[in-house]
Amino acid sequence: MEQCCGFGGTFAVAFPHISYGIGTLKLDHMLAASPDAIVSTDMGCLMHLEGLARKSGRGIRALHVVQVLRNALQQPEEPRP
C-alpha cells in the first residue's frame, strides 16, 4: 500500500492529530484485507501502525521484512519425494 502512515519523523510530533488520522486511515485499509501481519521496511511505520492498532483494540503483529525472511529461513525444509 503506497499511502503514507503519517509518522514521518517529527511530523507525528508536530501534527499529532493529523498523524493519527493518516495512520488510522491506512490501518483501516490494511485491516480490511484481514492480514496475518503488517510487514514493512520502515520501523517508524511499523511502530506507528502497531501502536494505533493496539490502542484501538485491533492488535496485529507488525514485522520488519527482515524478520519475515529470517523466519522463512528458519523453517525446517520439507522432505522431497
pTM of structure = 0.81
SS (H, E, C) the chain: CCCCCCCCCCHHHHCHHHHHHHHHHHHHHHHCCCCCEEEECCHHHHHHHHHHHHHCCCCCEEEEHHHHHHHHHHCCCCCCC
pLDDT tens, residue by residue, 1-22: 678 899 988 999 999 999 999 9
Say whether pLDDT at 65 is over 90: yes
Cell representation of residue 16: 499529532
